[in-house]
Each structure stands twice: as C-alpha cells, then as structure tokens.
C-alpha cells in the first residue's frame, strides 16, 4: 500500500497511461466521473489529479467537451519521471544495493539472462 496521497497515485496512473499510449497526445481523457468509476475513487480526488495536469500544461480543457492530452505531454512526462526517479528513488535503491553487496554489473548481467 502506498503512503502517497490518492490524487498523486491517480496522477501517476494517468501519466503512465499517457506515456504508454493509452491516451496519446490529442486524445481525450476519460471524464472525471468515468475515471473515478473505473478506479473506484472519489470524483473530487480525480478532479484534483486532473487539475494538476491542467496546471502543468499537460492537458487542455475544451469547454463542454472534455480534457485532451496536450502536444508534448509525453516527452515532458518522461523527463519529469526520469528526474523524479534519479532524485527520489535511485538514491535509496543504490544504498540498498550497497548494503546487500549487489554490484550493478552483476545485476545487469542477471537481467540480460
């Protein structure tokens, strides 16, 4: 279970969908109510996640129609994800590898086999 707020977990899920091509640039995102029903989340929580995408310029709102993935959103999300991984996640992973005596070359060799 994640300790992150639900709206950030939903944001991660939406970002992953955009990066994976589930919602390509120019495509409409599901409505707040539809996505909330799909995820079993409160619509207000989904709206908060969507609002963050809008504030970041990753989606465009078309009044009366819906939210659409903005041009350039994929590359921006990938860049944000890389920065987040390198700053927030990688140091803890590297520290654990050091504690366990895991050599990165060995790890990569195991992954390739």
Domain boundaries, given as residue ranges, for the chain? 6-71, 74-112
User: Structure pTM?
Assistant: 0.82
Segment 83-94, tens digit of pLDDT: 999 999 999 999
Q: What is residue 28's DSSP assignment?
A: B
Average pLDDT, 10 consecutive residues per value, the chain (113 residues): 85 96 97 95 96 95 94 97 94 93 86 76
Three-point CA angle 34, 85, 31, nearest 5°? 10
Three-point CA angle 73, 75, 78, nearest 5°? 105
The CATH architecture assigned to 6-71 reads Orthogonal Bundle (1.10)
**CA dist., res. 4 & res. 33, Å (int):** 22
**CA dist., res. 103 & res. 10, Å (int):** 34
- pLDDT recorded at residue 104: 85
Segment 70-82, tens digit of pLDDT: 999 999 999 999 9
Which residues, other chains included, contact 29 with Cβ-Cβ below 8 Å and sequence gap of 6+? Answer: 14, 23, 35, 50, 59, 66, 67, 68, 69
């Amino acid at each position: 279970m994640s300790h992150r707020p639900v709206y950030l977990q939903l944001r991660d899920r939406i970002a992953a969908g955009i990066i994976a091509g589930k919602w390509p640039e120019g495509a409409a995102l599901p409505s707040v109510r539809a996505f909330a029903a799909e995820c079993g989340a409160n619509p207000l929580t989904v709206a908060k996640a969507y609002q963050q995408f809008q504030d970041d310029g990753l989606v465009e709102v078309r009044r009366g129609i819906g939210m659409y993935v903005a041009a350039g959103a994929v590359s921006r999300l990938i860049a944000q994800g890389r920065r987040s991984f390198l700053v927030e996640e990688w140091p803890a992973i590297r520290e654990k590898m050091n504690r366990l005596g895991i050599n990165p070359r060995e790890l990569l060799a195991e992954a390739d086999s």
